[in-house]
Structure 1
Amino acid sequence: MAAVGGQSAQGGGTGGESAPIEFREAVEALTGARLRPEVRLSPRPAPRRLAPYSFALSASVEVDGEELADGTLVLLHDPSSPEAWNGDFRVVTMTRAELEPEMAGDPLLSEVGWSWLMDALQAHGARYAEPSGTVTRCHSQYFGGLAERGASTEIELRASWTPADGRFDRHLAAWADLLCVCAGLPPAPSAPSPTGDSGGLGGVVPMPARRRPRNPH
């Protein structure tokens, strides 16, 4: 069970008791991680075609009953160690948050979004290899029966990397911090990290997310 903000959530996975011990231990590390209280985990069916074994969680950042960001994290395991992975595990994530409309024109938005992920992994001492991903921004203007919603701007960060340290809880915690930063929350209070440096994202300026429920699809 995953302890998050005093609550627990069972993730979805493939392989079950027949999965290799390495994969089962990795899943236990993820479900035992403690994250910021604003982060809520929920079950999610794991993809079955990306790797022989997989485990998935959905996450949302909620403040005062409002959802400010959401995303998914999938842990893949292939004992054959695909060449593109440079390892036998792969973390695949999606992070999404609605921003203030004026952010859409910021030419550095994509670069900043990607740097936050790299900074979060480093802050948590989560060693990785072969990172890749995309940062997409989308500005939507609503019309007709949807006109009352007003314009919206959304950032979506899709990323994957190969954990290189076997500390899967650190990778989940780093991704959860990325979610919070994209949601516009201030960095968590600094605490000693596994590397001996101060934890958290230090001087990172959070993205100015909208403090209201995100628009439905």
Structure 2
Amino acid sequence: MINSDSRPTPVDAEIDATSQGNTTPPEFTAAVESMHAARLRGELTLGTIRSPQKLAPFSHAIGLEVDRGDNDTEDLESVPVDAAGDAFGRLILLHDPGAEDAWDGSMRLVAYIQADMDDEVANDPLLPDVAWQWLTEGLDEADGYTNLGGTVTATASVRFGEIGGPPRSYQLEMRASWTAEGTDLTSHVEAFAAVLANVAGLPPEGVTSIGG
């Protein structure tokens, strides 16, 4: 578990970078700080998680998880590195000043979402298209981006024999990446968080579900 109180600072960013013998660029530090300035709805928790060290000279990662009110207040201060609930996401920032041509920029965001679905939603053949549309619409409202690509996969699992859990379960997985045109990534994180909320089946903000 990683404490979400650990706000990124220039020192935090430098630790990630100096492990590779590099000096942290100020634009990378600014981008990291902007990721943690995102305003998220109350059901989402955000925290710093371990980032990959070999994909780019500089990297930073955040984890988002959906809290449906089943956890104690103390537990809301931490976000797991991997799945611990029925919906979670990871957003990784890669910064490579030498990747301008390959990425069409130096800031690349890599996103991953995994969420359990109920059978009624999962059986909709348009679900992957709708989920991808949520992402594109959210990014269209964010600060500039280019080179968006990814996949959305809907799967079904059936349990047999002596194994716990529901007999059938359904899951949606989204993988995507895009290049940010600036260093303010606040709106990118907010767009990503909105997709996670939609995929998790949260009601629109300000609307309470019947079961809530």
TM-score bracket for the superposition, by shorter chain length: 0.7 to 0.9
Offset of residue 143 of structure 1: 1.7
Distance (whole Å) between structure 1 residues aligned to residue 171 and residue 48 of structure 2 = 24
* SS of residue matched to 1:55: strand
Select the residue among 128, 134, 153 that pairs with 1:110: 128
Distance (whole Å) between structure 2 residues aligned to residue 165 and residue 18 of structure 1 = 20
- Structure 1: gaps (5+ residues): 1-6, 190-210, 212-217
Offset of residue 75 of structure 1: 0.4
Match for residue 68 of structure 2?
63
Q: Is it true that 1:80 corresponds to 2:94 in the alignment?
A: no
Distance (whole Å) between structure 2 residues aligned to residue 147 and residue 61 of structure 1 = 23
Match for residue 127 of structure 1?
144
Question: 1:120-199 alignment to 2 at 5 Å?
Answer: 120-123=138-141, 125-188=142-205
1:176–1:114: structure 2 CA closer, same or farther, 3 Å change rule? same
Distance (whole Å) between structure 2 residues aligned to residue 173 and residue 148 of structure 1 = 33
Distance (whole Å) between structure 1 residues aligned to residue 45 and residue 165 of structure 2 = 29
Select the residue among 81, 90, 113 that pairs with 1:95: 113
Distance (whole Å) between structure 1 residues aligned to residue 89 and residue 165 of structure 2 = 26
- Tell me which amino acid in the other structure corresponds to 2:121: M
* SS of residue matched to 2:116: strand
Select the residue among 44, 52, 55 that pairs with 1:50: 55
CA RMSD, aligned part only?
2.1
| Conserved 8 A contact 2:35-2:186 | yes
Distance (whole Å) between structure 2 residues aligned to residue 9 and residue 95 of structure 1 = 22
TM-score by length of 1: 0.77
| Conserved 8 A contact 1:177-1:187 | no
- Tell me which amino acid in the other structure corresponds to 1:15: A
Offset of residue 165 of structure 1: 3.5
Match for residue 36 of structure 1?
41
Match for residue 32 of structure 2?
27
- Tell me which amino acid in the other structure corresponds to 1:178: V
Match for residue 5 of structure 2?
8
